Amino acid sequence: MTVTARRFERLPVEILDPPDTLARAVAHRIAALVRVRHAEGRRCVLGLATGSTPVGVYRELVRLHREEGLSFRHVETFNLDEYWPIAPDSIHAYHRFMRENLFDLVDLDPAATHVLPGDVPADKVAQACAAYDAAIRDAGGIDLQLLGIGKTGHIGFNEPGSGADSRTRLVTLDTVTRRDAGADFFGEQNVPAQAITMGVATILEAREICLLATGEHKSGIVRRAVEGEIDHEVAATFLQRHPAVTVYCDAAAAADLTRVATPWLVDEVEWTAPLEVRAVVWLSQQVGKAILKLTGSDYIGHHLASLLARHGHAGVVNGLVFNALGGRIRGRSKLPRDGAVICFSPHPDDDVISAGGLLRKLHLNGNRVHVAYMTSGSIAVFDHDVRRYVDVLERLAASNHLARDRVAALSGRVLAFLDAKTPDDVDIDEVQDIKRIIREAEAVSGIETLGLRREDARFLDLPFYRTGTVKKDPIGPADVAIVRALLEAERPDLLLVAGDLSDPHGTHRLCKDAIDAAVAEAYPGGGGRPEVWLYRGAWQEWPVTEATWLVPLAQEELRLKIQAIFKHQSQKDSAPFPGQDDREFWQRVETRNKETAALLDRLGLAEYFALEAYVVA
């Protein structure tokens, strides 16, 4: 980071991409510290975090232990937090998370691992918290503390309003935090209302702190924590008072930092065509003028004099960017024809949500279009939907259309399980199958709405997803082999792939990993590889400055796309995993596709009803 950038960033930031690179860097920093302390004859005391972000760090530490001899025999650990009340063996408990992801996989002494007690009685919580702080002091303090960051800016469970002097204590969880956690608990209603957490002061006493953030959904709060004033409403800003903090971000989480989003405000930049487009679109929005109406004074007054000097006149820059954006617009006449297309859909609805308009146009252009649903999406089906379909089966059996004894046996097993089910229970096979079939039937109906045939749907049901819980396995050879077989059977000219990083479960990222590996295997020399267009999922759209292609949708085309989304009835009205947006998926789609078109209109380009955006990988 340059000295100039430091004017904006109050915390040191390392941007490492992809997330695996970030995870390895942090894991190797921890490993180096463990080895140094061991050489000094001292225990290394680590403060550990949970959640999806540090999993990659733990995976690399396990690899270092198994393959490079890294020993944890002289390591003591203290975890940041735990839900309360919760049993330590609950599938949602951080006790269990740490055992499954680190403790049971290395040579850590179980007696040297400390996790806050989520099962302590209410009248003993304060005593347990004081004992936890005392144990940290007795261990000599924490050498290195790992942190994640929540959307409210919380570190640990230090929610908005937490003070700089706060210690380990019982807290009430913020609504945003509980909603985020709802994806792990099969619904927000199952998330405990309280948790026990290290306090801000406890965290700041660590000798070194590493804050990890990945994904574009973290970009806003990362900027607030790194560039904003210290604020009791954003606990992560207190880290600015610590002398040895490093923030590790992937490119997506760092996207809103000033040096990334608007680097011309930070220092001199080396102008490239993509950067020029970003700068001019930004300037147009800042001054509220169409691109072709921007003046030299606008450029000079907004730190873009060097861009103006590069081209000599505002009109030249305006014209270049205007034409560049116009060249990205691809109506049906400019889209591929008579080829083979595979749209990879991580869940059975991502295809119509993100690429419904394009799929319709590609079909009308005579392409052979297949939609490959990579996972069953079964965990995103409510239990009440299962009951409804079981009732349909029972009524069909009562009308002698199905075998009564077989339906009665299935119904009995399913309803007995659902009646006794708790939030910790993994669905039995029969329930998982019903949920899978519900989503498959909805997916077929969705693509038929766009004009495709039911046989154009391919249900891959990748093994990594078949855990029955929100936590998924890593991508393995079996997943890659299934994707590769489809590529080799269809020999597509074009692949549509989910390229967004905001999926709450990380399933989109894992699916893309499987596709990338399969493509590398199926086309080892690179020859004949299909073109890859990346779409974004239900949470965000590509900015026009990043998009390679902008595909216009007429009013009727957007209506048809929304009708296809409606076919996913299990996800309509109230989806199990809606993220932080209360709107239904079709409403988000309508807004984002219309807003993309409206922005192009404000920039002075052609006016369209709606637009989908894609990036060529």
Q: Which residues are catalytic?
A: 159
Phi-psi region of 324 (alpha: psi -120 to 50; beta: other; left: phi over 0): alpha
Contact indicator for 152, 177 with CB cutoff of 8 Å: yes
Q: Which residue's structure tokens are 């489809």?
A: 486
Contact indicator for 415, 390 with CB cutoff of 8 Å: yes
Q: Specify the DSSP element, H or E, that contains 414.
A: helix 404-420
Q: Specify the DSSP element, H or E, that contains 146.
A: strand 144-147
The type of residue at 156 is G
Contact indicator for 56, 19 with CB cutoff of 8 Å: yes
Nearest 5°: the CA angle 116, 164, 145 is: 50
Q: Which of 251, 225, 186, 196 is nearest to 85 (CA)?
A: 196
Q: Specify the DSSP element, H or E, that contains 616.
A: strand 610-616
Contact indicator for 404, 415 with CB cutoff of 8 Å: no
Q: How many Cα atoms sit within 13 Å of 294 on the Cβ side?
A: 36
Looking only at the bridges linking them, the beta strands covering 208-213 and 368-373 are unpaired
What's the DSSP call for residue 80? S
Instruction: Mark out the alpha helices in 84-166 (DSSP H runs).
Output: 94-101, 125-138
Rounded Cα gap, residues 483 and 462, in angstroms:
9
Contact indicator for 345, 402 with CB cutoff of 8 Å: no
Rounded Cα gap, residues 494 and 335, in angstroms:
11
Instruction: Mark out the alpha helices in 18-153 (DSSP H runs).
Output: 19-39, 55-68, 94-101, 125-138
Burial status of residue 325 (CB atoms within 10 A of its CB: 0-12, 13-18, 19 or more): buried
- What is the per-residue DSSP string for 478-542? HHHHHHHHHHHHH--SEEEEE--S--TTSHHHHHHHHHHHHHHHHSTTSTTPPEEEEE--SS---
What are the beta bridge partners of residue 525?
none
Contact indicator for 347, 380 with CB cutoff of 8 Å: yes
Rounded Cα gap, residues 613 and 615, in angstroms:
7
Could you give the 3-state DSSP secondary structure of residue 459?
Answer: strand
Contacts of 50 (CB under 8 A, 6+ apart): 79, 80, 81, 94, 97, 98, 148
Rounded Cα gap, residues 600 and 42, in angstroms:
61
Burial status of residue 137 (CB atoms within 10 A of its CB: 0-12, 13-18, 19 or more): exposed
Contact indicator for 353, 589 with CB cutoff of 8 Å: yes
